[in-house]
């Protein structure tokens, strides 16, 4: 996590300002899209070309969606003629806009922290500035967050329900379908109906992690620092209050292929949600029928434990479409 405080981060980024985002896109996303697209063509058959092609596709999606909410973007960027210089420049620019790194990393970090966050944590601990209705409206409109269509709402009529409602991007992996019940639970990530700027940017971050692992010809480029490992090491650890066996491990460098639409995640411990009750079980026949409870707690405590590691991305939460089954995930290098 960057040493910058959340309030300093939001004040530097000014996420309600379209011109601020436009400058970020022109300085970072446009060059990365052009360089990655070029490398995908120059090194066909090399592992670097595959991930460069994926990064180019994800960067292009960011730019396409951004134009719909921000307006015109200057797409001019001169790609070096030398293929080796293209490789070096792509790694350099990808590292310089990674989460919390430099000026570009402030923008990716801000968008990243809003993937999945409870209203309570967002407004009280993370970005109190967004209590301002106009700034919140403009920020959410640009990024694609809808308060009227949250990621999760507890199925309880209570004053606490609003606080524990989870906001985020509908096109970043959050909602799934249960494909397998019993001693193992398999969740299949559902595709989104629409791309958002924030969700597309987060998907690009996952692609950059794979690129910065430097497969194939990219291994010849030596970055000044391992920004991915450094970031994860600074993130809050998965909370020890949550049952240790419930964490499904996800290597971050593989998430662009394994944590994506229609991907299936299988684990032997699932969480079942009933009102404010949440239980970790190792046998689940349905949301109403389970055996062998490993931990039982409540959503208020569970989500408060989870939020610091979730917003930074050290962990993830994958929910069934009805909000009654969940899988906890932790990222590894």
Instruction: State the average pLDDT for the chain.
Output: 96
Tell the burial category of 194 from Cβ atoms under 10 Å away from its Cβ (0-12, 13-18, 19+): exposed
Q: Residue 318: in which H helix or E strand, if any? A: strand 315-320
Answer yes or no: are the C-beta atoms of 111 and 198 closer than 8 Å: yes
% of the chain with per-residue pLDDT over 90:
98
Cα–Cα distance between 45 and 192 in angstroms, integer? 31
Mean pLDDT for the stretch of residues 115-134: 97
Answer yes or no: are the C-beta atoms of 276 and 154 closer than 8 Å: yes
Cα–Cα distance between 271 and 293 in angstroms, integer? 10
Tell the burial category of 157 from Cβ atoms under 10 Å away from its Cβ (0-12, 13-18, 19+): exposed
Q: Which three-class secondary structure state does DSSP give residue 280?
A: strand
Tell the burial category of 295 from Cβ atoms under 10 Å away from its Cβ (0-12, 13-18, 19+): middle
SS3 content of the chain, % helix, strand, coil (to 5): 50, 20, 30
Tell the burial category of 149 from Cβ atoms under 10 Å away from its Cβ (0-12, 13-18, 19+): exposed
The per-residue pLDDT for 213 is 96
Q: pLDDT band for position 3 (50/70/90)?
A: low
Q: What does the pLDDT look like over 227-259, one tens digit per residue?
A: 999 999 999 999 999 999 999 999 999 999 999
Mean pLDDT for the stretch of residues 210-223: 96
Q: What does the pLDDT look like over 34-71, one tens digit per residue?
A: 999 999 999 999 999 999 999 999 999 999 999 999 99
Tell the burial category of 146 from Cβ atoms under 10 Å away from its Cβ (0-12, 13-18, 19+): middle
Cα–Cα distance between 67 and 151 in angstroms, integer? 25
Q: What does the pLDDT look like over 65-113, one tens digit per residue?
A: 999 999 999 999 999 999 999 999 999 999 999 999 989 999 999 999 9
Q: Which three-class secondary structure state does DSSP give residue 285?
A: strand
Query: Which pTM does this prediction carry?
Result: 0.96
Distances (CA, A) of 246 to 161, 189, 271, 272, 329: 24, 18, 8, 12, 8
Q: pLDDT band for position 208 (50/70/90)?
A: very high
Q: pLDDT band for position 285 (50/70/90)?
A: very high
Q: Which three-class secondary structure state does DSSP give residue 196?
A: coil
Q: pLDDT band for position 117 (50/70/90)?
A: very high
Cα–Cα distance between 105 and 94 in angstroms, integer? 10
| DSSP at 243 | -
* 226 half-sphere exposure, CB direction, 13 A CA radius: 11
**Placement of tokens 């990655």 in the chain:** 36
Spell out the domain ranges in the chain.
6-332
Cα–Cα distance between 322 and 193 in angstroms, integer? 17
Mean pLDDT for the stretch of residues 173-201: 96
pLDDT exceeds 60 at position 2: no
Distances (CA, A) of 269 to 2, 151, 319: 32, 22, 14
Cα–Cα distance between 326 and 173 in angstroms, integer? 13
Q: pLDDT band for position 224 (50/70/90)?
A: confident
Cα–Cα distance between 92 and 162 in angstroms, integer? 42
The per-residue pLDDT for 81 is 96
CB atoms within 10 A of CB 217: 18
Q: What does the pLDDT look like over 291-310, one tens digit per residue?
A: 999 999 999 999 999 999 99
pLDDT exceeds 90 at position 157: yes
pLDDT exceeds 70 at position 1: no
List, in sequence order, every residue forming a beta bridge with 152; answer none if it has no partner.
Answer: 166
Q: pLDDT band for position 4 (50/70/90)?
A: confident
């Amino acid at each position: 996590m960057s040493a910058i405080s959340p309030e300093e981060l939001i004040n530097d980024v000014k996420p309600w300002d379209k011109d601020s985002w436009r400058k970020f896109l022109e300085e970072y996303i446009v060059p990365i899209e052009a360089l990655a697209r070029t490398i995908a063509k120059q090194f066909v058959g090399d592992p670097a070309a595959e991930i460069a092609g994926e990064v180019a596709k994800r960067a292009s999606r960011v730019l396409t969606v951004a134009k719909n909410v921000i307006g015109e973007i200057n797409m001019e960027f001169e790609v070096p003629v030398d293929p080796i210089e293209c490789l070096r420049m792509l790694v350099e620019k990808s590292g310089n806009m990674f989460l919390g790194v430099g000026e570009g990393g402030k923008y990716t970090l801000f968008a990243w922290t809003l993937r999945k966050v409870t209203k309570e944590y967002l407004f009280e601990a993370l970005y109190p500035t967004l209590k301002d209705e106009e700034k919140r409206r403009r920020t959410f409109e640009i990024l694609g967050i809808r308060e009227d269509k949250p990621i999760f709402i507890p199925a309880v009529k209570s004053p606490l329900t609003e606080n524990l409602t989870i906001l985020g991007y509908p096109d970043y992996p959050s909602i799934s379908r249960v494909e397998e019940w019993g001693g193992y639970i398999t969740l299949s990530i559902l595709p989104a109906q629409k791309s958002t700027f924030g969700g597309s940017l987060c998907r690009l971050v996952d692609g950059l992690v794979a690129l910065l692992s430097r497969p194939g010809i990219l291994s010849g480029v030596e970055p000044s620092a391992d920004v991915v490992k450094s970031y994860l090491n600074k993130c809050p650890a998965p909370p020890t209050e949550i049952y240790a066996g419930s964490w499904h491990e996800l290597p971050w460098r593989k998430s662009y292929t394994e944590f994506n639409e229609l991907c299936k995640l299988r684990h032997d411990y699932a969480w079942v949600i009933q009102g404010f009750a949440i239980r970790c079980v190792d046998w689940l026949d349905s949301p109403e029928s389970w055996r062998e409870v490993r931990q039982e707690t409540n959503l208020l405590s569970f989500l408060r434990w989870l939020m610091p590691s979730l917003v930074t991305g050290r962990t993830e939460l994958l929910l069934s479409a009805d909000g009654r089954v969940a899988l906890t995930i932790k990222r590894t290098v």
